[in-house]
Chains A and B, each alone.
Chain A
Amino acid sequence: MNSKYVEMNAVRKEFRFFRLEDVTLELEPGQIMGFVGPNGAGKSTTLRLLMGLIEADAGNVRVLGHEMPRAQRIAKRDIGFVTDDMQLFPHATLDWHMRFAASVYPRWDERYATALVDRFGLRRAQLVKGLSHGERVKAVLLLALARRPRLLVLDEPTAGLDPVARHEVLHELTEVMLDEDRAIIFSSHNTVDVERISDRITFIDRGRIVESSDKETFLERWRRLQLQMRPDASLPELSQVVECKVNGQLATLTTNHFTPELADRLRDAGASILEIQRMSLEEIFVANVMHHRKVRAQ
C-alpha cells in the first residue's frame, strides 16, 4: 500500500530552450506543499507532468498511487487542477458550469458549492465573460473545491488577486486541511502566502529542485548573523555559511544550517555576535537560489 499522494522520482523533461532535470518530489496526505520558484523556473511544467498532461523523458511520476500519464483518467477523478489558462465558456453562466461539473463528478457537493458562491461573492446567473480576473479565478477554484478531490493541484492560485480575494482563497485552502486525507500542492511566487499556509516547501530554479523540506525546518535552519570582528581576526571557511559580507569591522553572515556550535566557532575565531536574526521565507528563497546558482556555476 502506497500512502504518498505525489511521488516524482528523478524526472527529466527536455524542451528546445528549457530542461527540467532530476526533479524529485513527495507529498503526503494531510499536507499543503508550496512550490516556489522564479518565473520560468519550471513550476508549471512540473505540475503539468504531475497531471499527466505531458510525459517525462525519464524518471517516474505517481499520483494517488497511479502511474502518470498512463493511468491519468482514473487518477484525475480525485484531483482538482486549477491553472490560469483554464478555459471557462465565456457565454455560459457560472450556474451552467456548476451544473455541468455536478453531472460529471459524482462527489460534487452542492451545499458546499452554494456556500462558496456566497463566500466568494459570486453570482450564479452571471456570464463568465462579465467576470473580473479575481472572480474568474475564484469561479475556477470553486468548481475544483466543490468536487472535494483528495488532491488539489493549483498553479498560481493567488496571482493577480487583491488582498481580500487572496484572504478568501487562503481561508478555503486551510479549511480543506481539516480533512487529513486531503492534500494540496500549489505554486506561487508570493512567499508570504506560501510561508503562511504550507507544511512543506519546495524551491525550484532553472529546472532543478533547489531544496525541499518542511517549513519549520527551513525557518529554523536559516539565520543571518551580525558580527563584529577583532581587527586581527579573519573568519574560517565554514560549509554552512552561504554568504558573508564584510564591511570594516562588521560582518553579515548568512547560514543555511544554524547551530549553537556554529556560533561558538565564530566566537573562537575572534568574532563577537551582535545579533542573530531569523529570516523570512522570501529572504531564505532569494539567498538559497543565489547560493545554488553560484555553486552550479563553479
Chain B
Amino acid sequence: MHSGIQLSQTDARPMYLQIMEQIRRRIALGDWPPGREIPSIRALAAELRISVITVKRAYEELESEGVIVTRHGKGSCVADKVALSTDLQEAELEEHLVAAANIARMLQLSEDELIARLRRARRNLPKK
C-alpha cells in the first residue's frame, strides 16, 4: 500500500510532525475514511526511507489525539469518529497568531497597528 506521503527536507518542522499533518490531511479530505487500515509503522518507514522510531512517534501522537487506533498485532486504522478538520485548522490559526504577535512585539508594533495589518491582509485576500 503506497501512502502518498511526502516529506520535505526544507521544511523546518521535524519529520514526525510532517507525517502527522499529512495523515490528518488525508483523513480530513476523506481520502482515508474512518476504519480504513493505514500502512504499518515499518512499511511506512521503508517507503519514506526514514527510521522506524520517527514513524512510531507520529503514530503514537496521532493515537493519543484519537485520530488513529492501533490494535495490538493488527496494525493501525483511522478512528471511527474524528472531528479533526476544524480542530486542525483552529490549532494552525492559533499557532500563526502567536507567531504574528511575537514578531509584532519585536518590531515594536502597537496592538492597533497589528490589528490594522491583519484587517488589511484580510481585505487583500483573493475573492472567493
Contact = CB atoms under 8 A, between A and B. Distances in A.
Interface in B2-27: 12, 14-16
A177 B46 contact: yes
Contacts of B106: 274
Contact of B102 (A178, A197, A198, A274): A274
A177 B52 contact: yes
Interface in A256-296: 274-275, 278
Contact of B12 (A174, A180, A199, A278): A278
Interface of A is mostly: mixed
Interface in B41-84: 42-43, 45-46, 48-54, 57
A197 B14 CA distance: 13
Most buried by B among A30, A216, A275: A216
A123 interface: no
B61 to A, nearest CB: 11
Contacts of B48: 174
Which bracket fits the contact residues of A? 20 to 34
A198 B51 contact: yes
A135 B52 CA distance: 28
A191 B52 CA distance: 17
Contact of B50 (A174, A214, A274, A278): A174
B62 to A, nearest CB: 15
A199 B14 contact: no
B52 A171 contact: no
A25 interface: no
A107 interface: no
A133 interface: no
Nearest to A277: B12
B57 A174 contact: no
Given A180-B42, A197-B49, 17 more contacts: A30-B52, A32-B51, A171-B49, A174-B45, A174-B46, A177-B45, A177-B52, A178-B46, A196-B49, A196-B50, A196-B51, A199-B52, A199-B53, A214-B53, A215-B51, A215-B53, A216-B16
Interface of A: 30-32, 167, 170-171, 174-175, 177-178, 180, 196-200, 214-216, 219, 274-275, 278
> Lowest 6 A-B CB distances belong to which pairs?
A199-B53, A174-B49, A199-B51, A174-B46, A175-B46, A178-B46
8 contacts: A32-B52, A171-B49, A180-B42, A196-B50, A199-B51, A199-B53, A216-B57, A278-B14
